[in-house]
Amino acid sequence: MSLRQFHLVFVTVVTCLFLGMGGWSLKGYFDHQGGLLLWLGAGSFAGALLVVVYGAWFLRKTRRMGLIE
């Protein structure tokens, strides 16, 4: 596995973890009405969005460099 492939797998795993954490936090917020859980959920979804944007940027950059087969 190349470093590029590992990077893409890592970005995918981190995105899934952010989405899972966001869903878990929002479920907790709706069950218990804890304000911190709402912020944690929103921050997790924002982090997931940022990681997806970074992944798209990374793919575009590696394509321009000719690193994608």
For the stretch 4-62, pLDDT in tens is 888 889 999 999 999 999 999 999 999 988 888 999 999 999 999 999 999 999 988 88
How far apart (Å, rounded) are the C-alpha atoms in residues 4 and 55?
11
**How high is the pLDDT of residue 64?**
83
**Total domain count, the chain:** 1
Confidence of residue 2 (pLDDT cuts 50, 70, 90): confident
**How high is the pLDDT of residue 24?**
95
**How high is the pLDDT of residue 69?**
56
Is the full-model pTM beyond 0.75? yes
Q: Please give the residue range of the domain that contains residue 29.
A: 3-65
What are the angstrom distances between the C-alpha of 45 and each of 3, 10, 17, 19, 69?
26, 17, 10, 6, 31
